[in-house]
């Protein structure tokens, strides 16, 4: 049976940026069979029909950088620069296991689906005591909910103290530094073997799952590991996802380790290719922007976490002016606290205006929506993000009779600047309705919330103890931070 949506206002996000005032969509299986004017729509007896006259139809939104284990830590982490914040965050993970990774992924995925996000790029690291550090549990959760997902297994093989511009560990921090290294790292070949096994076991695009390597960051990986994961991605036709120059401290590691920028070193290794996406990409040079654009790679903008951690503003207008394509991420819920991609779009379209006083370079609403749809899909080789025949049927229907769209003057502008996800009524992923009337169809939301609390509450003391152990790192990391900024 086919599903037909009739008389909707359709924002296609196709190459012509076509908006169809009285449009129709036909879903056949998991693909779009027809997208066009309602009066030209093919009809067949027995089709399920949705009256779209009260809806705006858009492609499902794509969160291009996220960390699902963070969902249970929203509101917990202090407002600190990333290097300090990360010490607490990684310490808290040491108290977590499979059950918590599963419900944490459920928690974030529920918020995503209910606010119109149909694809999540989960740059996953949990706890090495779990198989694939717990990534399989996140995959199980997102499959259970019907959320499309790309899970990039985070790997690092450099000792912690060699990844930041800090002197040798002091006596009072050396034990914690050693714990951080042992919790995060593994030998190079061990990681490469684990990634191969992870992909062999769990990669299943037809089942909504794309598995790929996710090296943590350039400075956290040896050249052998970076080239090894790039070779796996290339041979298997998979994406490759990495953090890049998120802070000024990180950017200093390029000259310190390699005598050049982090991005230039990555390019010298032959890793910067169209399948590469670089999360954050803040503290980079103009020539780095040119390399990324020329190679066809995709920077992933994470405006909320960059503000919350004081990391800075990414040169997104420069990427766009150079002809590049940018994707958009919410980042994890303990460096953003929200998984709402409408919030991310609005921030992306606003925060750069005071930096560039030439208003011709300001990010437009259409560019912000492109980051969250077609450009995000392009970055990860996904056949979605656009409403046109042949594409995967990931669709969001938003109610038109809400404050965000009343009166309706410019639908794209109002999607970006006025909507907050509360107008989302119906969500299809892979042709299946997973949100209907604003309610999830595949899980009992109240039961999930209760289960999160049941599992999390007994672990609060252990999590707090781990974070207290990590607090010994803060003075040294704060000293490093202030030295970096003079």
Instruction: Give the pLDDT of residue 170.
Output: 66
- Do 54 and 153 fall within a single domain? no
- Do 158 and 267 fall within a single domain? yes
Across 125-147, average pLDDT: 98
Instruction: Give the pLDDT of residue 229.
Output: 98
At 221-260, the pLDDT tens digits run: 999 999 999 999 999 999 999 999 999 999 999 999 999 9
CATH for 325: 3.20.20.140
Instruction: Give the pLDDT of residue 106.
Output: 98
At 168-203, the pLDDT tens digits run: 656 678 899 999 999 999 999 999 999 999 999 999
In a domain, 456, yes or no: no
When divided into structural domains, the chain yields a total of 2
In a domain, 482, yes or no: no
Last residue of a domain, one of 372, 406, 429: 372
In a domain, 116, yes or no: yes
Across 338-355, average pLDDT: 95
Percent of the chain with pLDDT over 90: 94
- Cα angle vertex 244, ends 185, 293, to 5°? 140
Check pLDDT > 90 for residue 486.
no
In a domain, 470, yes or no: no
CATH for 419: 2.30.40.10
- Do 423 and 355 fall within a single domain? no
- Do 289 and 339 fall within a single domain? yes
- Do 158 and 236 fall within a single domain? yes
- Do 222 and 154 fall within a single domain? yes
In a domain, 484, yes or no: no
In a domain, 232, yes or no: yes
Check pLDDT > 90 for residue 267.
yes
**Distance between CA 195 and CA 153 in Å, rounded?**
7
Lowest mean pLDDT among 174-183, 426-435, 439-448: 174-183
Classify burial at 168, counting beta carbons within 10 Å of its beta carbon; exposed 0-12, middle 13-18, buried 19 or more. Answer: exposed
In a domain, 406, yes or no: yes
Nearest to 428 by CA among 392, 402, 399: 392
- Do 405 and 347 fall within a single domain? no
Instruction: Give the pLDDT of residue 173.
Output: 87
- Do 253 and 155 fall within a single domain? yes
Contacts of 432 (CB under 8 A, 6+ apart): 30, 146
Last residue of a domain, one of 372, 399, 421: 372
- Do 281 and 343 fall within a single domain? yes
Across 141-147, average pLDDT: 98
- Do 53 and 73 fall within a single domain? no
In a domain, 454, yes or no: no
At 8-27, the pLDDT tens digits run: 999 999 999 999 999 999 99
Classify strands 148-155 and 327-328 as parallel, antiparallel or unpaired: unpaired
Instruction: Give the pLDDT of residue 53.
Output: 97
Q: Are 234 and 275 in contact (CB under 8 A)?
A: yes
Last residue of a domain, one of 420, 440, 460: 440
- Do 124 and 14 fall within a single domain? no
- Do 352 and 433 fall within a single domain? no
Classify burial at 482, counting beta carbons within 10 Å of its beta carbon; exposed 0-12, middle 13-18, buried 19 or more. Answer: exposed
At 465-480, the pLDDT tens digits run: 999 999 999 999 999 9
Provide the residue range defining the domain that includes 308.
61-372
Half-sphere exposure at residue 120, Cβ-oriented, CA atoms within 13 angstroms: 32
């Amino acid at each position: 049976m086919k599903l037909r949506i009739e008389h909707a206002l359709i924002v296609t996000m196709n190459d012509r940026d076509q908006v169809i005032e009285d449009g129709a969509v036909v879903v056949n299986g998991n693909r779009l069979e027809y997208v066009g004017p309602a009066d030209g729509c093919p009809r067949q007896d027995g089709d399920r029909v949705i009256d779209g006259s009260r809806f705006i139809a858009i492609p499902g939104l794509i969160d291009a950088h996220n960390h699902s284990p963070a969902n249970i830590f929203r509101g917990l982490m202090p407002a600190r620069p990333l290097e300090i914040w990360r010490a607490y965050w990684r310490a808290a993970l040491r108290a977590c296991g499979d059950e918590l990774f599963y419900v944490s992924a459920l928690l974030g995925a529920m918020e995503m689906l209910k606010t119109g996000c149909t694809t999540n790029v989960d740059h996953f690291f949990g706890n090495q005591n779990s198989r694939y550090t717990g990534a399989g549990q996140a995959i199980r959760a997102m499959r259970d909910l019907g959320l499309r997902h790309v899970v990039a297994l985070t790997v690092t093989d450099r000792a912690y103290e060699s990844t930041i511009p800090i002197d040798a560990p002091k006596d009072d921090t050396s034990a914690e530094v050693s714990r951080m290294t042992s919790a995060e790292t593994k030998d190079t070949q061990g990681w490469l073997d684990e990634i191969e096994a992870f992909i062999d076991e769990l990669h299943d695009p037809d089942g909504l799952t794309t598995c790929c390597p996710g090296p943590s960051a350039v400075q956290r990986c040896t050249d052998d590991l970076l080239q090894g994961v790039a070779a796996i991605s290339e041979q298997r036709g998979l994406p490759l996802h990495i953090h890049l120059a998120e802070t000024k401290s990180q950017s200093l590691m390029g000259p310190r380790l390699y005598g050049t920028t982090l991005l230039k070193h990555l390019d010298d290794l032959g890793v910067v290719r169209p399948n590469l996406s670089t999360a954050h990409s803040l503290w980079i040079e103009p020539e780095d922007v040119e390399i990324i654009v020329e190679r066809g790679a995709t920077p992933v903008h994470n405006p909320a976490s960059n503000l919350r951690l004081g990391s800075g503003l990414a040169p997104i207008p420069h990427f766009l002016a150079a002809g590049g394509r940018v994707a958009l991420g919410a980042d994890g819920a303990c460096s953003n606290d929200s998984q709402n991609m409408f919030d991310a779009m609005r921030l992306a379209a606003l925060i750069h205006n005071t930096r560039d006083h030439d208003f011709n370079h300001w990010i437009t609403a259409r560019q912000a929506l492109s980051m969250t749809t077609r450009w995000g899909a392009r970055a990860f080789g996904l056949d979605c993000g656009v409403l046109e025949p042949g594409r995967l049927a990931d669709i969001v229907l938003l109610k038109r009779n809400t404050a965000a769209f009343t009166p309706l003057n410019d639908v794209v502008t109002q999607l970006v600047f006025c909507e907050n996800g509360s107008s989302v009524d119906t969500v299809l992923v892979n042709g299946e309705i997973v949100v209907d009337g604003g309610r999830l169809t595949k899980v009992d939301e109240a039961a999930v919330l209760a289960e999160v609390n049941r599992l999390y509450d007994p672990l609060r003391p252990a999590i707090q103890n781990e974070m207290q152990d990590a607090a010994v790192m803060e003075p040294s990391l704060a000293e490093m931070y202030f030295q970096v900024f003079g």
